[in-house]
Structure 1
Amino acid sequence: MLTRLTIRDFVLVDRLDLAPARGFGTLTGETGAGKSILVDALAFVLGERAEAGLVRAGGERAEVTAEFDLAALATVTDWLRANDFDADEGLLLRRVMDAGGRSRAYINGSPATLQQLREVAEALVDIHGQHAHQSLLRADAQRALLDTHGDLDALRGELGEAWRAWRAAESARAVAGENAEALAAERERLDWQVSELERLGFAGDEWSALNAEHRRLAHATSLIEGVRAALDLVADDESGSASRLDLAVERVDALLDVDPALAEAAELLRSAQVNLSESTSILRRYADRVDIDPQRLDEVERRIEATLDCARKYRVTPEGLPALLEVAKKRLAEIGETTDLAALDARVAATRTRYATLAQRLSESRATVAAALGTEVSRVMQQLALAGGRFEVALLPVSGGSANGDEQVEFRIAGLSGGEARSLAKVASGGELSRISLAIQVVTSQAARVPTLVFDEVDVGIGGGVAEVVGRLLRELGRERQVLCVTHLPQVAACADWQWRVLKENDASGVRSRLLTLDALGRVEEIARMLGGVEITAITRQHAEEMLTTGATD
């Protein structure tokens, strides 16, 4: 759960250090005090998109840090390790944005991407915004909510891949039928090209070896003459360099007893003597090996000419011929697949069958989840002054299927404006829609795995006894989760286990929001303010105390 939220220079907030408790807590305050700013700050550190306007006037950068206890979140710990983040001491998320709009994010002190923040946030916090009911009018949002509630996202993703594979197979089959003549001509050309290149049999490293051998064969006479001349200069018995060097070594060695300073020169002369002897042996071996071979020279020249002709023909370098052969073979294989109509038909059938199997599984699972969701939401609706209303999830067939399955999801309401179930967008008024949205959120949150739930003024448009029911529902959620609700209703706030109050202040540095953690007396005063407005009477305080007592014992 969320254990600490630290905010610096975020919109109207200069400095806030918050420590949310377990259970159900409320955030109250006058309109415009900045209650929803705290929810925005939490959304910011969890990876939501943001603009430079979030930096408080006069501040250099906005910074939000959120700490979480991972004691019961082994999946998050596993995710941290899998993404190379430290996972030994809980979770610390930090996000900073400068006045220019540049944003940086960190997970346990290491740089992270916004996508990584969003990924880990999915297992930590579920935020229900005050305009969440508007998104429920969209078909895609309704389908996403149903699938997420039923833990069907993975199956829907698998089905989407099967759908795309089926479409791709059908497209390949259509293309093969339309381009049969062109593909046959291309295959004939490639067959001839592959045959020619394979007959040439040119290897990638052959070109440099061929040229080296050609140079050697073409200059064989001059090589032999030059080596033999060098041997005559070095190895002549009387006047050769070897004989003269031997004599020099003898004379310097004889002088070492007279002056040891000649030792270094003597050593160098002996090294030269050894090197000269080795080079002489190498030259003799070379002279014995090199031979004038006109026939081999002719073979090498014909090989070079054939290689150059082929390279010029296909407009590549000689070294590029082996790669050209591989490309041609690969394309031939592709054409073979795309022109094998029987194989293409079989692939279409196989991918269609896989899609149909997954689509049936998804449809059956959706039907089960839809029935249960309809029953649960209808039950909660009765408690929210929507007596007689019935919530249904209709699964409407989609001709030919889609990447999201064989049906479209539509939320429907019956019993509010007649007996027949009709689309949620066409039936519910603004106030009814808000309460239906709250019922859906309460039911789906009960099934969610995230430990922290945030409700941002989702109780707009209700009051009286309905507000008390909302408070009790949120308190019930708080028995198993950490629940934070931004509210303007005293009936909801009175049901909370703990309460914060947001104040807006003006000073020399400008307007800023400040937060108070309310004790028992503070909660009485805040509930009384929410009940009575500017003037708080003894009767108002007494009513506030009664509400708090009732809320705590429900």
Structure 2
Amino acid sequence: MLRSLDIRDMLIIDRLDLTFQPGLNALTGETGAGKSILLDSLGFVLGWRGRAELVRSGADQGEVTAVFDLPAGHAAHAVLAEAGIPASDELILRRINTADGRKTAWINDRRCSGEVLRSLSDTLVELHGQHDDRGLLNARGHRALLDEYGQLGALRADVRAAWGARQAAAKALASAETALEAIRSEEEFLRHAVGEMRALAPEPGEDAELDARRRLMQAAERVRSDIAKAAEALGGQGAEGAAGDALRWLEDAAAQVKGQLDAPIAALGRALVELDEAARGVDECVEALAFNPAELEDTEERLFAIRALARKHGVGPDELGDFATNLERRLAALDAGDAQIEALRGELKRAGKAYDDAAAALGAARAEAAGRLDAAVMAELAPLKMERAVFETTMTETAPGPDGIDEVAFRVATNPGAPSGPLAKIASGGELSRFLLALKVCLTGAQPGLTMIFDEIDRGVGGATADAVGRRLADLARGGQVLVVTHSPQVAALAAHHWRVEKRVEDGMTLSTVTPLGAPDRVDEIARMLSGDTITPAARAAAEALMAG
């Protein structure tokens, strides 16, 4: 509930402190007195988008502070929690607008954005009135209003999830079809290239290994004869044999020279060991250099084939393996493409059925809610002196989307048998006001902690009809809070609290003031509304009669 509104230097208001009460609060005054400025100021502190120039002429900045009572469980608590702002049973909103257009806002002394203010305002205030076309007269918003009335949020979430899954399945199928089509265009190349790769079967590092082997075989012919001669010179017919003979001769003579040959014999033994090791190494090298001339030809042929294939595909020889793997993968995707496409089509079909089922369930729930809404609005129209009017929520099928397949529109007929049509085209000004009131009452319901503001909702009506509008507003205000800006004495007379808005001129500057009215002043104000500037005894008597009910 809105408890107070403090306005400083906004438009033609220099300073204004208003304290509101539960029940029906009426604001009256002559046209142009500044009643709409109060709503502009409240809208400003709630983050609504409105006038650009709000600061009073000559002031550095304008400021509005609004205080709301916030009971436990109020929807605003969730908004505050998400924004990280501490909450209590009192909510203080403050917003400043400087003369150069900069805006700054606080919630409970915490800086906040206009977006957070707007999110809060949806839980705090509901505005109905002359400029209430956005939700009710615009058919594009009717579906959302019906869903809110029918509390169909869960079903709508199911439809949106199913729509997302269907879109994802369609996207996956389209992507797979595009990819398959691209691969099909190179099928001949893929099959030929994979065949080449499979036939050659290059191994990682094979190019370097073949090159080293080729070089070795090429060099073998030049060095093998020298190495063979060295092997012969070291072997039994060469140095090793001669050293062995020398050792035997020395050993035979050693006994005759009493130890003088011990050192030479030992050295020669060691030399024989080293000669044997050298001979074995040389023999191994000779064997390693032995090759079949055809092997050199085969090695060169494979080496040149690997390098030629690498040049053909623009990769390094050592990259042929990875390249071949990629070709195999693409060919496998081509071969498995039809099966994959078929599987994805099945997924899309299942996702489509799930969406259709969810959309049908939402549509059925909307139809049921539409029937309840029609009955509720019709019940509201009777006390508003429109018992012969007809209100209908129509549903037609539209293209599938995230919110289902239903197009919803509110249509009215002012008399039985007359053709129905959109609210704005069929209803006159007074009828439109009452339709809006009835519809808003039904759509808003008994939402707790919501301040409802009606801006001249009674325009175009008078007499018994205005009295019916006032009584419905008074009924709506029981247990809650309703603020009504009105020119109707019948409506003002039914208010529990009454303020008069008027203009005054001080030092050549026009200012707007708001005065709370006690019982005698209320009589005068309602009499003025009945008779004009001149308040007659008859007008006062009529005002007292209206207030007496």
Q: When the two structures are superposed, what TM-score results if normalisation uses the length of structure 1?
A: 0.69
- List aligned pairs for 1:138-537, cutoff 5 A: 138-153=138-153, 155-183=155-183, 340-398=340-398, 400-414=399-413, 416=415, 418-508=417-507, 510-537=509-536
Task: Answer whether contact 1:52 1:100 (CA < 8 A) is retained.
Answer: no
Aligned to 1:101: 101
User: Structure 1 residue 391: deviation in Å?
Assistant: 0.9
Which is worse superposed, 135-144 or 480-489?
135-144
Q: Is the 8 A contact 1:65 1:94 kept in 2?
A: yes
Deviations 1:451-489 (A, max 9, x none): 211111111111110000111101101112111000000
Cα distance in 2 between the residues matched to 1:200 and 1:108: 70
Structure 1 residue 339: Cα displacement:
8.8
Inter-partner Cα distance in structure 1 for 2:528 and 2:155: 50
Does residue 1:49 correspond to 2:49, yes or no?
yes
Describe the superposition over 1:60-93 as per-residue Cα deviations: whole angstroms up to 9, x where unpaired.
1221111111124444234323421121352111
Range that drifts further, 157-166 or 180-189: 180-189
| Cα shift at 1:340 | 2.7
Counterpart-to-counterpart distance in 2, 1:88 and 1:415:
47
515-524 vs 91-100, greater mean Cα deviation: 91-100
Runs (4+) off by over 3 Å: 72-75, 183-189, 336-339, 419-426, 447-450
Structure 1 residue 98: Cα displacement: 1.4
Question: What is the RMSD computed on CA atoms of the aligned residues?
Answer: 3.7
Distance in 2 of aligned mates of 1:531 and 1:543: 8
CA shift, 1:434, in A, is 2.4
Residue ranges of structure 2 left out of the alignment (5+ in a row): 195-202, 206-309, 317-324
Aligned in 2, Cα 1:90/1:504: closer, same or farther, shift over 3 Å?
same
3-state SS, counterpart of residue 79 of structure 1: helix
Give CA deviations for 1:25-83 in whole Å, capped at 9, x if unaligned: 11111100011111121111111114431111112122111111112444423432342
Alignment deviations for residues 346-404 of structure 1 (CA, whole Å, 9 cap, x no partner): 33123323322321222122112111111121122222232311211111122x42222
Against the structure 1 CA distance between its residues 67 and 59, is the aligned structure 2 distance closer, same or farther, given a 3 Å change threshold? same
Paired amino acid for 2:24: F
In structure 2, C-alpha distance between the alignment counterparts of 1:144 and 1:337, rounded to whole Å: 43
Distance of 2:523 and 2:539 partners within structure 1: 9
Q: Distance in 1 between matches of 2:204 and 2:531?
A: 98
Q: Retained in 2: the 8 A contact 1:26–1:487?
A: yes
Q: 2:456 is matched by which residue type in structure 1? A: E
Which moves more between the two structures, 348-357 or 95-104?
A: 348-357
Tell me, in whole angstroms, the C-alpha distance in 2 between the residues paired with 1:524 and 1:84: 48
Q: In the alignment, is the contact (CA less than 8 A) between 1:30 and 1:503 conserved in 2?
A: yes
Q: State the distance in 1 between where 2:508 and 2:157 align.
A: 51
1:535 Cα deviation after fit = 0.5
8 Å CA contact 2:385–2:468 kept in 1: the answer is no
Structure 1: which 5+ runs fail to align?
Answer: 193-198, 202-308, 316-324
Q: Which moved more, 1:171-180 or 1:460-469?
A: 171-180
Instruction: Report the CA distance shift for 1:105/1:339 in structure 2 as closer, same or farther (over 3 A).
Output: farther
Mapped pair 1:32 → 2:9: no
Asked if the contact 2:10–2:54 (Cα under 8 Å) also holds between the matched residues in 1, the reply is: yes
Counterpart for residue 113 of structure 2: 113
* Structure 2 Cα separation of the partners of residues 496 and 168 of structure 1: 56
Asked whether the equivalents of residues 25 and 497 of structure 2 are also in contact (C-alpha less than 8 Å), the reply is yes
Displacement of 1:13: 1.3
* Percentage identity across paired residues of the two chains: 41
**Paired residue type of 1:93:** L
Displacement of 1:174 in angstroms is 2.9
SS at match of 2:510: strand
Counterpart contact for 1:417–1:427, Cα < 8 Å: no
Separation in 1 of the partners of 2:166 and 2:448? 34
1:10 deviates by: 1.4
The aligned counterpart of 2:543 is 544
Report the alpha carbon displacement of residue 21 of structure 1 after superposing the two structures with TM: 0.4
Distance 2:107 2:24 in 1: 27
Distance 2:369 2:338 in 1: 42
Judge conservation of contact 1:66–1:93 (CA < 8 Å) in 2: yes
Q: Which structure is larger by alpha-carbon Rg, 1 or 2?
A: 2
Query: Contact 1:52–1:98 at 8 Å: present in 2 too?
Result: no
Mapped to 2, the partners of 1:537 and 1:430 lie a distance apart of 30
CA contact (8 A) 2:471 2:494 kept: yes
Query: 1:23 and 1:314 mapped to 2: Cα distance?
Result: 83
CA 1:176/1:50 → structure 2, altered by over 3 Å: closer, same or farther? Answer: same
Whole-Å Cα distance in 1 between the matches of residues 186 and 32 of structure 2?
A: 71
Equivalent position SS for 2:118: helix
Distance 1:200 1:5, change over 3 A: farther
Task: Tell me the secondary structure at the aligned position of residue 409 of structure 1.
Answer: strand
Q: Normalized against structure 2, the TM-score is what? A: 0.70
Q: 2:21 matched to 1:21?
A: yes
Inter-CA distance 186–491: structure 2 relative to 1 (3 Å threshold): farther
Amino acid aligned to 1:163? W
Distance 1:65 1:450, change over 3 A: same
- TM-aligned CA distance change 1:52 to 1:424, over 3 Å: closer
SS at match of 1:159: helix
Residue in 1 that maps onto 2:277: none
User: SS of the residue aligned with 1:49?
Assistant: coil
Q: What is the number of equivalent residue pairs in this alignment?
A: 428
Q: 1:492 to 1:106 in 2, by over 3 A?
A: same
- Which residue identity is paired with 2:7? I
Q: Distance in 2 between matches of 1:165 and 1:95?
A: 43
Change over 3 Å in CA distance of 1:55–1:350 after alignment to 2: farther
1:107 is displaced (CA, Å) by 1.3
Change (3 A) 1:70 1:426: closer
